[in-house]
Amino acid sequence: MDNRPVCVFDSGLGGLTAVRILRKLMPNENIVYFGDTGRMPYGGRSAAQIRLIAQQNLDFAQSFGVKAIIAACGTISSNAADLLLACPVKTVGVLAPGVRELAQTGKKRLGVIATATSIKSGSFQRELSALAPDAEVCALACPDFVPMIESGRYLPSDPEVRATVARSLSELKERKTEALLLGCTHYGLIADAIRDFLGDEVELIGAADAAARELCAYIEGASAFGDGGSEEYYTSGSIADFEALAPLMLGYELKSAVNHVPPFPLEVL
Ligand code: DGL
């Protein structure tokens, strides 16, 4: 038994989609979640800022004495993979597991959608061309998705959601994309709207889900099962906003009160 918690972090509430899967797969794990809402969105920040944020979040996660970490953020995973790898605690990002599952579909017309800073890094494209060299890849930044989702708009019946999805993903439709990686953890929330627009035949891979599966495989392999199933929540932004939206992302009620931590300084840059 290893009751040390797992920490999952993201810029906001999108990473809770990884917690949701983790909870299903491993109901007894103790989880600490950090949503850096006070500095959200990450997706348009410079790579240098993202790397600073990544290290600050890794340090914060380790302060809980965790046994493993999920960096449930495509922007960090694609711009700071070396920092995740160098962390003394086992850290799973969303890039490698997501790309692997996309390549494993065996489809030849692949798509990746993520934040602007993720797509600009070229990391998704590089990893994909290594794992699926014969596939044609369309990589698109979708800067309108995160602010829309964090404002609570993600239902497929919402006309604004439908219009934003259609406007952002028209190229994927034109290219007859067969499988698509949701390379930002927020995007799992609008998977139904994306499916409605692209059609059921397009296979959707959630990077958050893939990362949660990878972490489970690690915990099982290390026989490091926890016992308790507790959850602690931290936000650098509004507690009220976290409380309002988090249950929608998790699919269940919050298990404890939400704690506030002041945003870590970005003064270096
Ligand atoms: N959910 C994060 C990601 O996966 C960050 C989104 C943002 O803050 O822009 O990239």
Tell me the pTM.
0.95
Per-residue pLDDT at 269: 46
Q: Looking at ligand 1, which residue's alpha carbon is closest to its atom 8?
A: 41
With the most atoms of ligand 1 within 8 angstroms of its CB, the residue from 9, 10, 181 to mutate is: 10
Region of 211 on the Ramachandran plot (φ > 0 left; ψ -120 to 50 alpha; else beta): alpha
Q: How far is the CA of 13 from the centre of ligand 1 (A)?
A: 9
Q: How far is the CA of 43 from the centre of ligand 1 (A)?
A: 5
Dump pLDDT digits (tens) for 176-235: 999 999 999 999 999 999 999 999 999 999 999 999 999 999 999 999 999 999 999 999
38-to-57, 104, 170, 266 alpha-carbon distances in Å: 13, 36, 32, 12
Dump pLDDT digits (tens) for 220-265: 999 999 999 999 999 999 999 999 999 988 999 999 999 999 999 9
Residues in contact with ligand 1 (CB, 6 Å cut-off): 10-12, 14, 40-43, 73-75, 115, 118, 146, 184-186
Q: How far is the CA of 223 from the centre of ligand 1 (A)?
A: 31
Instruction: Name beta bridge partners: 234.
Output: 34, 259
The packing angle between helices 16-25 and 239-250, to 10°, is 40
Place of tokens 């964090």: 150
Dump pLDDT digits (tens) for 257-269: 999 999 999 875 4
Tokens representing residue 104 in the block: 């494993």
Rg (CA), the chain: 17
